[in-house]
Every structure is written in C-alpha cells, then in structure tokens.
Amino acid sequence: MSIGTANQLRLVRDAVGRLDADIAAKDAIAMLLGDIITQEALVLPRGSVADEMAYQRTFEQVANSERDSRKTMATDDALDRAALADFLNQAVSGEGDIVVRSAQTVSRGMSKKTVLVTLEGARTLPVDLALRVDRSANNYLGTTVIDEWGPLRLLWDHGARIPQPFVLEPSGTVIGDPFIVFARASGAPVGSIYVPPGPNKALLADTAGCMARVHAVPVTDWPRADQPQGDAFFDAQFAEYRADWQALEESNAVMDACFDWIDGHRAHAYGPTALTHDDFNYNNMLVEGDRVAAVLDWEFAHVGTPAADLAYLWYAAQSMGSFSDFLKAYANAGGWLPPQEQLDFYLLWGQLRLGVMGHKAVRNLEEGHFDDVRFGMARWHRRQALFRLGDLLDRLGA
C-alpha cells in the first residue's frame, strides 16, 4: 500500500473531473480511480469475518468520497483585480486611475507563476504587464521573487535583455503571494531542459552574445548581502544540495557517484567571478525568430563563475549547432572562456543539481504537496536527469 501512489492518483482524478468528456466515461473513470486510491491508502485489519465486513463498509464509504474530484484548480490562480489596481495606483509614481481589465495565468511552475495583465487608465505603466508571482503552496525550492528584485534592477540598469521590472510587492497581502511587475515582453520559450531546440545557429550565436552581456554586468555592488559570492558561493551551494540529497534518504548509485566526483574535483569550481543566472536555458527565455527577446526567471542568480552558465547550455548548443560554435560566439561577444576542465565540472554539476531537484519534486508529488497533474512530469524529469548523469560519468571516466 502506498500513500504516495494515492496522492498521485488524486491529481489524475481531479484532472479528469475537469475534462469536457462523456459523462458516463468520466463517472466510470472516477469510480475506478476512487477504488484504486482507497485500496492504496486504506489500512485496516482483515483477519476475521467481523474485520472483513468492517473493512468493506469503510472501503465503500472512503471510495465514495474519493470519487468526487476537487473542482477547483490551484487556489492561487484566483486574483483580486481590484486589489492589484489599488496597489499599482499607490506604488507607481504618476498613477492613480488604473483599472485592471484582465488577468490571465499563462504558466504555473513549481515555484512561480506568470500572470499576464491588461490595464486601462495607466499613465506611466504600459498597458500590458506580466506578473511573476511566488507559488508558496507548491514551492519546494524555497526561492522567492523578493530575492530577485535587487539583481533584476542591476541587470536592467546595465542593459541586460530582461523585461523591464517596475515594482516589487513583497508582503503577499495584495494577491496572496509576493510578486514583481514587469513590462510584458514578446516572444515565447523554445524547447525545455530535456527537449532542446532544433538546429538554429543564428539563435545560438545570439544567445551567446546575450549571455556575455549578462556576465559583463558589474557585481562590485551586488544587492544581496545575504548571499556568499564567488568560490564561497559554490561551497555553500554544494553543501546545500548534498544536504538536500541526503535528507531524502534515497538509494541511487548514480547520484552518489556524481556527488563523490564533484567533491573530489571541486578545485575546478573556482575561478573568475561574474553575475551568473544558473538556470540559463531556453525554457527561461522568450525567443522571437533567431533572437532572444528576454531572459526570465532569475531566482538562482548569484555572483559565481561564467562556466556554470556556459556548461548548462551544452545540450541545447549541441542540438542547435555545436558547443564549440557557441563558445566561439561567446568569446567574440567579449566573454571569458573558462578552461575545459572547469566546463566539464560544471556540466556535471548543473545536471546533478537538476537531478536533486527532480528527486525532491517526485517526493513532493508523492506526499501530495502539488496541486496540478502537470507536476506528474517530475517523474519523467528525474529519469532524464539520471540518463544524462550516467552518460556524463562514463564520459568523465568516473
């Protein structure tokens, strides 16, 4: 019996309940899932006739309850447009007559969501905005937009390709969670962490230039005093991820071998510093044609080493052209090229971080902490991370 299985089936049940499908088919699916969920979750003695009858009566009662899907999506999708308008009118200089005409959630990640907002009556703000909103109900990463605000202002002031940030709401009292208000950028993500874009050398070269511009942003006045920098950042990050992995109490030879290799080669982690995104991939970019319109999702930004971002894009670069072409374009745009040993180190480290996050996501899925069946992709993500890690261990001779 498995509560973890029951929790995952509940997500499936709730998704089926929202489908516009044949009523009889939905009822049959709901009945089947209700029985399976109850079978996985119900633990009662069945050793005697009395026990068996009590079990069956309780089973029927619980199964009937489990058949009813939860009709609502994530509760954090509800947005008080009047409260948002009041906040904008008070927080943004020159405003006072804003009315929020529409607000649509267009993406729900595991730690943040994006809401597209249309205004009426704005004087200084653009009509079309985007909100990046914490998802406290699902955020197993522990990150918050509050920590992104300072780095975003620094990036914008130095010409990095990001949507213009206007204002931070840190309290969570306006729409339920803290958020940042941005100008709405054009473009769309292409590919994902484990499904890279297809051949496109022009876009790859433009991405290299975009990354070089980020790495050129001065960090002498880094706005996050709470965060270690440079070599000390890696040491703290390694300790955090290893502690997260150990806390899961999972048994996995691939993950353990990767942590051992990183620990044994950690001298390669250290080097010249730069503003580092640490999740620089096409799922976190808006792309128009052959150009990166904007880089998004700066929750992992820190003062680290350029190799972390460069190596993280290895799989996408190989799919779009070649990693050597990407490095050449990066250098031509003014970027500093790390030694190969450091690129190899951060290629493994970046994928190991994803492996830890994948295992944590599956654990949260099994424990019922997610509110959307789409988070069921966590199991596939975890498996892809292990495929990559196993291949990298072979490549590095570990």
Token pair listed for 64 = 């009937």
Entry field: residues in the chain: 398
Burial of 99 (0-12, 13-18, 19+ CB in 10 A): middle
Query: What is the model's pLDDT at position 72?
Result: 47
pLDDT at position 380 is 87
pLDDT of residue 392: 96
pLDDT of residue 70: 60
Closest C-alpha to 85, from 47, 125, 33, 51: 125
Q: What are phi and psi of 160, to 5 degrees?
A: -70, 155
Does residue 351 contact residue 389 with C-beta atoms inside 8 Å? yes
What tokens were used for 24? 């009889």
pLDDT of residue 22: 67
pLDDT of residue 23: 73
The pLDDT value recorded for residue 178 is: 96
Positions in the chain whose pLDDT score sits under 50? 1, 72-76
C-alpha span between 191 and 197 (Å, rounded): 5
pTM: 0.84
Which residues, in sequence order, are CB contacts of 175 under 8 Å at separation 6+? 79, 80, 83, 84, 131, 133, 169
Sign of the four-CA dihedral 380, 372, 84, 145? negative
- Which among 311, 316, 92 has a CA at the least distance from the CA of 190? 316
Buried b (16+ CB within 10 A) or exposed e, 28-50: ebbeebbbbbbbbbbeeeeeeee
Rounded Cα distance, 90 and 96, in Å: 7
Q: How far is it, in rounded angstroms, from Cα 223 to Cα 151?
A: 6
CB-based contact 198:144 (threshold 8 Å)? no
- pLDDT for position 98: 97
SS3 376: helix
* pLDDT number for residue 325: 97
Can you count the helices (H) and strands (E) in the chain?
13, 9
